[in-house]
Amino acid sequence: MNCRICGNESETAVCAHCGHLASGADATGKLAADSPTSELSAVTNLGDLTPGHAALVVLRGPQAGEIWTLDADHIDVGRADDCGLFLDDITVSRHHAFFIHENSVWFLEDRGSLNGSYVNRLLINGRTALKSGDEVQLGKFRFTFHEAK
């Protein structure tokens, strides 16, 4: 299917190029009110990101269609209460992975999780650089990664 906003071909409900829903509506959202993090916030459009920040568009999981900003240089991801990105599902390890922003590059680093971390459907080992449009999977959750330019 083609995105109604930018016209690029998209295999998912959210366009990996512009971040809009395939239906043409903006992908909007917010973190759950009980989210334990102050590091993540929501934007209503990927164009609202400021340089140095990135975002995850939720493709699969309880909050599909939402956009979460990555606005800290180091964000823990997992099922533990102290994680910056709390993913509440048994398929996610307590301390599953990190998103790291270093030298103007975003990385995903698996922390030895049981189910692994995937970038573009490939299991990663250690730290992997991310680029806009990459698909990230952590447990049953799938996201597209978008970086502000």
pLDDT tens, residue by residue, 80-123: 999 999 999 999 999 999 999 999 999 999 999 999 999 999 99
| Least confident span in 13-17, 76-80, 92-96, 137-141 | 13-17
| Least confident span in 1-5, 61-65, 100-104 | 1-5
Task: Average the pLDDT over 47-69 and give the result.
Answer: 84
At 11, the pLDDT band (50, 70, 90 cuts) reads low
Give the end-to-end CA distance of the chain in Å, rounded to a whole number. Answer: 26
Q: For the chain, what is the mean pLDDT?
A: 78
Compare 128 and 14 and report the one with higher pLDDT: 128
What secondary structure does DSSP assign to 64-123, as a single string?
TT-EEEE-SSEEEEESSTT-SEE--STTS-TT-EEEEEETTEEEEEE-S-SS-EEETTEE
